[in-house]
């Protein structure tokens, strides 16, 4: 079996400007939605209480809302979670509230209104923990970016490092933009997924960069755009198959993983799709514009000649 | 050229065997079990307890599948939950005849069904996190400022009595935020006070000042003293929590320090948060009282007291060595006055002893009491849940001053350690606040396992089917390598006993999806070499060799992200990161070394190899 029988190089670089403009527009849109709508942070980040309740029959969320309001809990959000029988109740932080009792009290109120409710989980996060999580997330992100730049700069050259990281940060911003646009819940597992995507989609750039470096040495006569086109073309089969395989695993998570893994898998899916796009169509043109040249990789072999001049 | 030296095959073989061995316990599943551990630091769990439990069960006619003894508990395994519950009740009745004063925790638990020889080589099933097994998780923040304030308040009392003892007149000692301010009328008094404080309180940093017409001396805790107090506070709080949680009857509680000032408490299987929280927040206190020796030596009175009618003003207690005694109700000293308790040895007799340090107010009371009661006995009680236990009741030999008290006599080293621990652990050193709490019901835990398992399984099957169809034999080899990767990853997780959470299972699924990248790279590279006219053998060699650089680069970048998550992540993120990082490492081994080994076994020996089974190559 062979899906990709490409005989000629695909002239990706000829349309580089178009792709980058598309990228820029998506990027700006993502930033726009992040700025206007903001992320819908989960309880882990904002602090608050989360109660998951399971009913033997389909749950009436309106009735639950009324019951809670009658018991004095205002500002609560009640929503179905996964199935019509499971309900997720979110409550904001209130100073001086006893979280352990809160769970029991809420269950007491719900049980009185509609017997048979089963408490599945309670999560309570204090305000300072949430703030720390957000800070640590930001530090982790910076560390990943820095680590990858340093590694790529050592293994390749700074131009590769910078174009690689720009392309992949663009993926991250787009994932966040999607979460902001759809107001999907941004939880800790999603943060993990975003950082994993950063590491993962740099892979794609690395594989192409690797080929570019190899071909810079091999294809002496070719121009830089030709070399990049060729490198992407010979790799396209691997790119699609690899990401297809990863996507199969992620898709399986999206289908069977339940509500907890849903947004985790969603973030990965967006990350994988944009990872391909950005590595092929963003990182490579950037590489071209930063001005890579053969000498950057070959000069190391003939240092003596340069010294004479 | 495509042959591995024997040692490389041996390496693969050994790794596979070890992988299988350590993965094995995960297949046996779990059996209902009863776990017996000690509530009190003074009651030891040992081989005798194992015999006792075994005999009790035999006498009741309950079949035990296996009974084990580990460091601090005895565990018995049963065929079904019905037997388990029956066994629990039987053991409970036999070991704790008085439910009000239980010496052992008898808890229901799940135990791996894996055979003993696997357990002996530390091959245990993966350690499941709370989101998979259900339970309660608390994150407690220790109020360090509170610990320091508490200490400063105690110091203020010490300084007042110090000034009184030295006859220094002062215009008041007050705590102003994190320092103490002492006012004086004149410089002479201040100098005198300064000398006295420096000698008695080496932990204080003294600064002289002027406030209007008053001469001032401000005392603050030295940074190293602050650090020591904080470290002590968190250690003591952990010890206290341990003791309290023991009473909840939790099979495998986790109590760990996290960061500088936080404590994580995880109670698998516990559902009642309110009760757990109640117990965590409870305080235990120490009391020093005098023993009513006269009545204690009177057998008639004692008999009456044992039946619940002690003389007026007395309480009936049984000492730890079994000797009954009557203790006066009047409390001489409470644990608030105790600043430290350490095990050690008597400097003269070299007997094991416990050294107590009292604060200055406590020291004065203690001095007065001992002076007035030489030759009598004094009881040290630990009061918990409104119920007291006499830890020790030594005879007062001489007047004891200076606030350093030594309890010795009739104690082994172990007992000395236990008493010191108990005394230290009586109360919390600093207030704590719950900053994070998570309760996961058991049904949700089981659901999460199923979801995670399904996600991994179907993702795996999809990849295997696709790879085999697309790359033919090489795809099958890649799939085998992927299976090996999964095996090694599970083995490693079992071996390290890293906590597996739902995000961790997600990381396994994701790792499989990402690990196949290395094999795709290799297979594509081999196809390309064939297309460019290389012979099959040369294509295999070149394919693996050229792909290796790329595989290394791409895995290192993934690993950087994984490590950052591991360092800065907490909770679910860390669970993900651990598996992710381990998965990257195992995938590099399996995708490159193992798959090459199989390819070499199949193709390496053939001289005249016309074509490789790697799917369509020539379409030009």
| pLDDT of the residue at B279 | 67
Region class of B482: left (phi > 0), else alpha (psi between -120 and 50), else beta: alpha
Q: Is the pLDDT of residue B211 over 80?
A: no
Q: Is the pLDDT of residue B86 over 80?
A: yes
Chains A, B: CB contacts under 8 A, how many? 243
For the residues B181-187, what does the mean pLDDT come to? 86
Cα separation, A264 vs A277, whole angstroms: 20
Q: Do A140 and B567 lie within an 8 Å CB cutoff? A: yes
* B558–chain A Cβ distance below 8 A for any pair: yes
Which has the higher per-residue pLDDT, B103 or B375? B375
| pLDDT of the residue at A307 | 44
Which has the higher per-residue pLDDT, B619 or B559? B559
Residue of A nearest to B503 (CA): A189
Q: Is the pLDDT of residue B421 over 70?
A: no
Cα separation, B377 vs B52, whole angstroms: 35
* B567–chain A Cβ distance below 8 A for any pair: yes
Q: Do A152 and B559 lie within an 8 Å CB cutoff? A: no
**Runs of H (alpha helix) within B407-441:** 413-425
Q: Is the pLDDT of residue A269 over 90?
A: yes
Weakest-pLDDT range from B408-417, B435-444, B528-537: B408-417
Condensed to tens digits (0 to 9), the pLDDT of residues B3-23 reads: 888 899 999 999 999 999 999
Cα separation, B344 vs B355, whole angstroms: 7
Of the pLDDT bands very low, low, confident and very high (cuts 50, 70, 90), residue B316 is confident
Residue B514 with chain A: CB contacts under 8 Å:
200, 203, 246, 249
* Second CATH level (architecture) for the domain B30-113: 2-Layer Sandwich (3.30)
Contact in structure between B540 and B584 (CB atoms under 8 Å)? no
Pick among A45, A56, A195 to test the B interface (most B CBs inside 10 A): A195
**Short-list B434, B438, B510, B523, CA closest to B473:** B523
Is it true that domain B147-222 has CATH number 3.30.1360.100? yes
Percent of chain B surpassing pLDDT 70: 90
Q: At what angle do helices B273-280 and A99-113 cross, to 10 degrees?
A: 160
* Total Cβ atoms within 10 A of residue B155: 22
Q: Whole-number mean pLDDT of chain A?
A: 83
Q: Do A1 and B444 lie within an 8 Å CB cutoff? A: no
Cα separation, B439 vs B428, whole angstroms: 24
Pick among B279, B459, B501, B511 to test the A interface (most A CBs inside 10 A): B459
Classify burial at B495, counting beta carbons within 10 Å of its beta carbon; exposed 0-12, middle 13-18, buried 19 or more.
middle
A226-229: Cβ within 8 A, 24+ apart: A226/A9, A228/A12, A228/A13, A228/A284, A228/A287, A228/A288, A229/A9, A229/A10, A229/A11, A229/A12, A229/A13
Nearest to B503 among A143, A192, A198 (CB): A192
| pLDDT of the residue at A100 | 58
Of the pLDDT bands very low, low, confident and very high (cuts 50, 70, 90), residue B100 is low
Window B:431-460, CB contacts with A under 8 Å: 433-441, 443-444, 447-448, 451-452, 454-460
| pLDDT of the residue at B483 | 95
- What is the nearest CA distance from A309 to chain B, expressed in angstroms? 34
Condensed to tens digits (0 to 9), the pLDDT of residues B224-281 reads: 988 888 888 888 788 778 777 766 667 778 888 888 888 988 888 776 666 677 667 6
| pLDDT of the residue at B422 | 62
Q: Is the pLDDT of residue A302 over 70?
A: no
Nearest to B568 among A143, A199, A206 (CB): A143
| pLDDT of the residue at B423 | 66
Tell me whether the CATH fold assigned to B147-222 matches the one assigned to B285-427: yes
One of 3.90.580.10, 3.30.1360.200, 3.20.20.105, 3.30.70.260 is the CATH number of B285-427, namely: 3.30.1360.200
- What is the nearest CA distance from A202 to chain B, expressed in angstroms? 7
| pLDDT of the residue at B42 | 63
Condensed to tens digits (0 to 9), the pLDDT of residues B147-179 reads: 787 778 778 877 887 888 888 888 888 888 788
Condensed to tens digits (0 to 9), the pLDDT of residues A125-157 reads: 877 777 888 888 888 888 888 888 898 888 888
CATH superfamily, region A12-41+129-301: Multidrug efflux transporter AcrB transmembrane domain (1.20.1640.10)
Q: Is the pLDDT of residue A161 over 80?
A: yes
* B569–chain A Cβ distance below 8 A for any pair: yes
Strands B499-500 and B127-128: parallel
Q: Do B568 and A255 lie within an 8 Å CB cutoff? A: no
Complex-level ipTM: 0.84
Residue B508 with chain A: CB contacts under 8 Å:
none
Provide the residue ranges of all domains of chain B, joining segments of one domain with +: 6-24+442-604, 30-113, 147-222, 285-427
For the residues A298-302, what does the mean pLDDT come to? 52
Nearest to B565 among A140, A241, A264 (CB): A140
Contact in structure between B511 and B39 (CB atoms under 8 Å)? no
Cα separation, B572 vs A5, whole angstroms: 43
Of the pLDDT bands very low, low, confident and very high (cuts 50, 70, 90), residue B289 is confident
Residue of B nearest to A247 (CA): B513
CATH superfamily, region B6-24+442-604: Multidrug efflux transporter AcrB transmembrane domain (1.20.1640.10)
Cα separation, B611 vs B604, whole angstroms: 13
H or E stretch at B75: strand B73-77
| pLDDT of the residue at A252 | 93
Condensed to tens digits (0 to 9), the pLDDT of residues A3-36 reads: 777 777 888 888 888 888 888 899 999 999 999 9
* Second CATH level (architecture) for the domain A48-125: 2-Layer Sandwich (3.30)
Provide the residue ranges of all domains of chain A, joining segments of one domain with +: 12-41+129-301, 48-125
Nearest to B274 among A100, A207, A268 (CB): A100
Contact in structure between B161 and B364 (CB atoms under 8 Å)? yes
Condensed to tens digits (0 to 9), the pLDDT of residues B477-496 reads: 999 999 999 999 999 999 99
Of the pLDDT bands very low, low, confident and very high (cuts 50, 70, 90), residue A305 is very low
* Total Cβ atoms within 10 A of residue B247: 15
DSSP B604-619: IT-SS----SSS----
Q: Do B576 and A101 lie within an 8 Å CB cutoff? A: no
Q: Do B520 and A242 lie within an 8 Å CB cutoff? A: yes
SS3 A48: strand
- What is the nearest CA distance from B236 to chain A, expressed in angstroms? 23
């Amino acid at each position: 079996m062979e899906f990709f029988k490409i005989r000629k190089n695909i002239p990706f670089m000829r349309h580089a400007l178009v792709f980058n403009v598309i990228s820029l527009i998506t990027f700006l849109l993502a930033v726009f939605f992040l700025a206007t709508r903001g992320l819908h942070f989960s309880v882990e980040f904002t602090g608050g209480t989360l109660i998951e309740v399971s009913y033997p029959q389909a749950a009436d969320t309106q009735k639950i809302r009324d019951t809670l309001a009658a018991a004095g809990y205002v500002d609560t959000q009640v929503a179905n979670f996964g199935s019509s029988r499971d309900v997720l109740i979110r409550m904001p932080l209130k100073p001086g509230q006893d979280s352990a009792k809160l769970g029991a009290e809420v269950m007491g109120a719900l049980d009185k209104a509609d017997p048979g409710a089963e408490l599945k989980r309670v999560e309570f996060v204090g305000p300072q923990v949430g703030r720390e999580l957000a800070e640590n997330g930001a530090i982790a992100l910076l560390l990943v970016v820095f680590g990858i730049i340093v590694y790529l700069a050592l293994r390749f050259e700074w131009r590769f490092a910078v174009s690689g990281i720009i392309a992949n940060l663009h993926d991250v911003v787009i994932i966040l933009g999607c979460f902001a646009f759809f107001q999907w819940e941004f939880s800790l597992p999603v943060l993990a997924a975003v950082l994993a995507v950063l590491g993962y989609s740099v892979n794609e750039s690395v594989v192409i960069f690797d080929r570019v470096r190899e071909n810079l040495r091999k294809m002496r006569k070719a121009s830089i755009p030709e070399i990049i086109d060729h490198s992407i073309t010979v790799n396209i089969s691997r790119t699609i198959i690899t990401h297809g395989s990863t996507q199969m695993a992620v898709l399986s998570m999206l289908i069977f993983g339940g509500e907890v893994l849903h947004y985790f898998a969603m973030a990965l899916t967006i990350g994988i799709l944009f990872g391909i796009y950005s590595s092929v169509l963003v990182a490579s043109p950037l590489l071209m514009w930063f001005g890579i040249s053969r000498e950057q990789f070959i000069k190391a072999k003939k240092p003596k000649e340069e010294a004479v001049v | 050229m495509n042959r591995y030296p024997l040692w490389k095959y041996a390496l693969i073989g050994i790794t596979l065997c070890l992988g299988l061995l350590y993965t094995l316990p995960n297949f046996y599943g779990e059996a209902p079990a009863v776990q017996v551990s000690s509530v009190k630091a003074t009651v030891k769990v040992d081989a005798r307890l194992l015999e006792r439990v075994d005999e009790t069960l035999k006498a009741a006619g309950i079949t035990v599948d296996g009974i084990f003894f580990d460091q601090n508990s005895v565990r018995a395994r049963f065929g079904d939950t019905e037997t388990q519950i029956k066994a629990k009740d039987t053991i409970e009745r036999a070991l704790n005849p008085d439910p009000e004063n239980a010496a052992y925790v008898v808890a229901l638990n799940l135990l791996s069904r894996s055979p003993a020889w696997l357990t002996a080589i530390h091959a245990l099933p993966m350690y499941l996190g709370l989101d998979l097994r259900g339970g309660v998780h608390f994150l407690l923040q220790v109020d360090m400022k509170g610990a320091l304030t508490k200490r400063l308040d105690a110091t203020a009392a010490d300084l007042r009595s110090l000034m009184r003892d030295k006859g220094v007149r002062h215009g008041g000692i007050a705590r102003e935020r994190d320092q103490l301010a002492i006012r004086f009328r004149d410089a002479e008094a201040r100098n005198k006070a300064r000398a006295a404080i420096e000698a008695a309180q080496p932990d204080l940093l003294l600064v002289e000042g002027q406030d209007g017409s008053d001469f001032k001396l401000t005392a603050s805790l030295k940074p190293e003293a602050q650090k020591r107090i904080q470290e002590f506070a968190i250690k003591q709080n952990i010890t206290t929590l341990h003791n309290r949680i023991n009473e909840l009857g939790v099979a495998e509680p986790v109590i760990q320090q996290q960061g500088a000032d936080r404590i994580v408490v995880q109670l698998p299987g516990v559902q009642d948060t309110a009760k757990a929280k109640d117990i965590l927040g409870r305080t235990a206190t120490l009391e020093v009282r005098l023993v009513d020796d006269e009545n204690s030596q009177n057998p008639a009175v004692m008999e009456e007291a044992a039946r619940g009618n002690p003389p007026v003003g007395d309480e009936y207690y049984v000492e730890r060595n079994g000797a009954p005694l009557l203790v006066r109700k009047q409390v001489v000293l409470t644990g608030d006055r105790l600043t430290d308790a350490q095990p050690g040895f008597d400097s003269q007799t070299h007997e094991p002893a416990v050294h107590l340090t009292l604060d200055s107010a406590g020291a004065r009371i203690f001095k007065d009491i001992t002076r007035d009661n030489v030759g009598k006995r004094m009881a040290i009680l630990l009061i918990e849940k409104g119920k007291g236990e006499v830890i020790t009741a030594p005879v007062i030999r001489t007047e004891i001053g200076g606030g350093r008290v030594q309890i010795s006599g009739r104690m082994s080293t172990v007992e000395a350690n236990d008493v010191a621990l108990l005394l230290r652990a009586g109360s919390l050193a600093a207030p704590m606040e719950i900053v994070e709490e998570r309760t996961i019901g058991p049904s949700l835990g089981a659901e999460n396992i199923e979801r995670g398992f399904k996600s991994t399984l179907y993702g795996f099957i999809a990849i295997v089917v696709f790879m085999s169809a697309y790359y033919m034999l090489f795809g099958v080899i890649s799939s085998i390598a992927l299976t090996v990767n999964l095996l090694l990853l599970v083995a490693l997780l079992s071996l390290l006993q890293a906590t597996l959470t739902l995000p961790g299972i997600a990381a396994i699924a994701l790792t499989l999806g990402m690990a196949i990248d290395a094999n795709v790279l290799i297979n594509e590279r081999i196809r390309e070499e064939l297309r460019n006219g290389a012979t099959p053998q040369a294509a295999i060699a070149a394919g693996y060799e050229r792909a290796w650089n790329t595989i290394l680069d791409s895995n290192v970048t993934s690993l950087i992200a994984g490590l950052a998550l591991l360092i800065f992540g907490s909770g679910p993120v860390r669970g993900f990161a651990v598996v992710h990082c381990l998965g990257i490492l195992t995938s590099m081994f399996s995708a490159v070394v193992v798959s090459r080994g199989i390819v070499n076994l199949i193709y390496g020996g053939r001289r005249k190899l016309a074509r490789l089974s790697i799917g369509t190559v020539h379409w030009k």
